[in-house]
C-alpha cells in the first residue's frame, strides 16, 4: 500500500464519530492512491464475513479486515502481517488512513467518485481542505488555494447578484404584466360599461344629429352678424336639425328628463322649468347665455359661432324680406343674399305652421318681475317664422317660449369686417 509522510499532524482532526464508516467502506471499491503512474495499481474490495479482496494489477488475493468502532480503526491481516490504521477521514469519495503510531498516511479513492476520478496529489489536498477543512498544503499551495477561493467567492457573489438582478427583473416583468393586465381589464371594463351606458342612453334619449364641418357655413345678409345657412344638427337648409331646451347644449335633458340617467338632476317638484337652465343657485338663470358654456351654437359648432341675441333676431325680422315656397321660407337680406328656413305646413297648431327659433336671451318682462314670479314662469326670447291661419301669409315676429320648450337653433357668426357690440 502506497504511503505518504505528512508533517501536519496537529492540523488533522479525528474522524467524525457520527459517520457510519463501516457501511461506507463496504459499499464501494477503493483504489490505493499512488502518485507514481508507473507503479502498480492496487484495489481493495471489503466483502462480508470480514474478507478483503486485494487486486494488484489484476492479480487477486484474499485477506482479512476488521472495523473497530471503539477507536475508529481498521485492522488489515494478509496472513503474514497485521496492520492497524487509524481512520482520519471517511467519505463516499475518499478514506484517509494513518498507520497507527507513525506519521505515515495512505489514501483510498472511490473508483466511482465524481470528484476524484484520475485525481492527483494536489487534487486530494484541495478536496481535503474544501470538504473536510484539513490543510496539508505547503506554503505555496496554501497561497494558491486562498487566491482561488477568493476568486471563487467573488465570482459566486457576482453570480448571486446577477441571479438576484434577473429575479428582480423577472419580478418586475411579472408585476408589470399584472399591472398591464389590470389596466387592460380596467380598459375593457370601461369599454363595456361605456357600451352599456351608450345602449341605455340610446334607448332613453333622442339621437342627436351632427352638422358636418363642410356644412357649417354662413351668409352675409348685410346685417350686424352673418347667419348660418342651416340649423344646428342639420346638413342642408331644409332639414330641421336638433331641438334644444334653453341652455341645454346636449339637447337631451328635456326630451328625457324623467329617465333614470337624469333623475338625480331633477328637483323635488316635477316642473321642467325649474331645471330648464343647468344647476344654479336658486335656479335663477342669467339674462343671456350668448357666448357662455351654455350657448348651444358655441358648444356644438365651435368658437366662431354663437346663438343670436334678441336684437340680432329682431334685426333679421325687420330688415329682411320673407317669401313662402313649397317647403321652406326664403329670407332676403339688404345685401341681396338670402338664406332658407325649413317650413312644414303639417306641424300642429301648438307652434303654428313653421318654426319658432330660440335666441340666447331671456324675456325682459319676466326678468323685471323675477322676484315676484315663480322661476318656472320665465320665458326665453324667440323669433317665429310661421304662416297666418294656414293661408301661407308669413308671420315673422319676436315671441316668448318656456325655457323647457324644445326649439331649433339657427347660429350666427360675427363678421370681422363689421363692428359689433355684444349684447349684455
Q: Which three cell numbers stand for residue 3?
A: 504511503
Of 136, 153, 181, the position where a domain reaches its end is 136
Q: Per-residue confidence at 422, pLDDT binned at 50, 70, 90?
A: very low
Report d(CA 132, CA 96) in Å as an integer.
11
Q: How many domains does the chain have?
A: 2
Q: Per-residue confidence at 353, pLDDT binned at 50, 70, 90?
A: low
Give residue 403's pLDDT: 77
Q: Are 285 and 405 members of one domain?
A: yes
pLDDT, greater one: 23 or 262: 23
Query: What letter would DSSP give residue 9?
Result: G
Q: Are 132 and 218 members of one domain?
A: no
Report d(CA 159, CA 153) in Å as an integer.
10
Residues 380 and 400: beta-carbon distance below 8 Å: yes
Of 136, 156, 183, the position where a domain reaches its end is 136
Pairing assessment for the beta strands 354-362 and 104-110 based on DSSP bridges: unpaired
Question: Could you tell me the CA-to-CA distances from 98 to 39, 51, 85, 93, 110 in Å, in that order?
Answer: 21, 21, 5, 17, 18
Give residue 364's pLDDT: 61
Report d(CA 362, CA 400) in Å as an integer.
8
pLDDT, greater one: 175 or 228: 228
Residue 144 lies in a domain: no
Report d(CA 330, CA 387) in Å as an integer.
13
Q: What percent of the chain has pLDDT over 90?
A: 34
Q: What percent of the chain has pLDDT over 70?
A: 78
Reduced 3-state DSSP string for the chain: CCCEECCCHHHCCCCCCCCCHHHHHHHCEEEECCCCCCCCCEEEEECHHHEEEEEECCEEEEEEEEEEHHHCEEEEECCCCEEEEEEEEECCCEEEEEECCCCEEEEEEECCCCCCCCCCHHHHHHHHHHHHCCCCCCHHHHHHHHHHHHHHHHHHHHHHHHHHHHHHHHHHHHHHHHHHHHHHHHHHHHHHHHHHHHHHHHHHCCCCCCCCHHHCCEECCCCCEEEECCCCCCCCCCCCCCCECCCCCCCCCCCCCCCHHHHHHCCCCCCHHHHCCCCCHHHCCCCECCCCCCCHHHHHHCCCEECCCHHHHHHHHHHCEEEECCCEEEEECCCCCEEEEECCCCCCCCCCCEEEEEEEEECHHHHHCCCCCCHHHCEEEEEEEEEECCCCEEEEEEEEEECCCCECCCCEEECCCCCCCCCC
- pLDDT exceeds cutoff 60 at 13: no
Distance of CA 327 to the CA centre of its chain: 56
Residues 22 and 72: beta-carbon distance below 8 Å: no
Q: Are 119 and 261 members of one domain?
A: no
Residue 117 lies in a domain: yes
- pLDDT exceeds cutoff 80 at 278: no
Report d(CA 424, CA 405) in Å as an integer.
23
Q: Domain containing 112: what range?
A: 4-136
Give residue 227's pLDDT: 97
Q: Are 131 and 249 members of one domain?
A: no
Residue 100 lies in a domain: yes
- For residue range 342-351, what is the model confidence (pLDDT) as tens digits? 876 554 333 4
Residue 272 lies in a domain: yes
Report d(CA 330, CA 227) in Å as an integer.
13
Sheet harboring 321-324: ordered strands across? 321-324, 328-332, 338-342
Residue 156 lies in a domain: no
* Entry pTM: 0.48
Q: Are 130 and 263 members of one domain?
A: no
Of 106, 136, 166, the position where a domain reaches its end is 136
Amino acid at each position: 500500500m502506497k504511503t505518504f509522510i505528512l508533517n501536519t499532524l496537529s492540523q488533522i482532526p479525528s474522524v467524525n464519530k457520527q459517520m457510519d464508516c463501516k457501511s461506507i467502506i463496504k459499499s464501494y471499491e477503493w483504489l490505493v492512491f499512488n502518485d507514481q503512474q508507473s507503479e502498480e495499481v492496487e484495489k481493495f474490495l471489503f466483502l462480508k464475513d470480514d474478507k478483503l479482496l486485494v487486486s494488484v494489477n489484476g492479480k487477486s488475493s484474499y485477506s482479512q479486515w476488521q472495523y473497530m468502532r471503539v477507536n475508529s480503526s481498521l485492522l488489515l491481516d494478509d496472513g503474514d502481517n497485521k496492520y492497524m490504521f487509524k481512520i482520519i477521514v471517511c467519505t463516499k469519495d475518499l478514506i484517509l488512513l494513518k498507520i497507527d503510531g507513525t506519521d505515515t498516511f495512505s489514501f483510498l479513492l472511490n473508483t466511482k467518485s465524481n470528484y476524484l476520478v484520475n485525481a492527483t496529489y494536489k487534487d486530494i489536498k484541495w478536496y481535503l481542505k474544501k470538504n473536510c477543512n484539513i490543510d496539508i498544503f505547503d506554503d505555496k499551495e496554501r497561497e494558491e488555494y486562498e487566491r482561488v477561493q477568493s476568486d471563487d467567492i467573488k465570482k459566486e457573489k457576482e453570480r448571486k447578484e446577477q441571479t438576484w438582478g434577473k429575479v428582480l427583473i423577472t419580478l418586475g416583468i411579472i408585476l408589470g404584466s399584472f399591472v398591464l393586465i389590470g389596466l387592460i381589464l380596467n380598459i375593457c371594463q370601461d369599454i363595456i360599461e361605456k357600451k352599456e351606458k351608450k345602449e341605455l342612453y340610446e334607448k332613453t334619449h333622442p339621437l342627436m344629429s351632427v352638422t358636418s364641418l363642410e356644412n357649417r357655413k354662413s351668409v352675409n345678409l348685410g346685417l350686424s352678424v352673418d347667419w348660418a345657412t342651416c340649423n344646428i344638427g342639420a346638413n342642408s337648409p331644409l332639414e330641421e336639425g336638433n331641438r334644444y331646451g334653453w341652455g341645454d347644449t346636449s339637447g337631451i335633458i328635456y326630451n328625457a328628463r324623467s329617465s333614470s340617467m337624469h333623475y338625480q338632476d331633477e328637483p323635488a317638484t316635477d316642473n321642467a322649468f325649474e331645471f330648464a337652465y343647468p344647476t344654479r343657485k336658486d335656479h335663477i338663470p342669467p339674462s343671456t347665455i350668448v357666448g357662455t358654456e351654455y350657448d348651444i351654437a358655441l358648444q356644438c359648432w365651435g368658437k366662431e359661432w354663437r346663438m343670436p341675441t334678441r336684437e340680432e333676431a329682431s334685426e333679421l325680422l325687420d330688415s329682411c324680406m320673407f317669401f313662402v315656397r313649397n317647403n321652406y321660407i326664403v329670407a332676403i337680406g339688404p345685401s341681396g343674399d338670402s338664406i332658407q328656413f325649413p317650413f312644414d305646413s303639417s306641424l300642429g297648431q301648438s307652434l303654428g305652421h313653421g318654426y319658432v327659433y330660440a335666441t340666447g336671451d331671456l324675456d325682459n318682462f319676466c326678468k323685471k318681475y323675477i322676484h315676484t314670479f315663480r322661476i318656472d314662469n320665465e320665458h326665453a326670447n324667440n323669433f317665429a317664422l310661421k304662416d297666418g291661419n294656414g293661408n301661407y301669409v308669413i308671420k315673422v315676429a319676436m315671441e316668448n317660449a318656456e325655457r323647457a320648450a324644445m326649439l331649433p337653433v339657427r347660429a350666427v357668426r360675427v363678421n370681422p369686417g363689421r363692428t359689433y357690440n355684444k349684447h349684455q
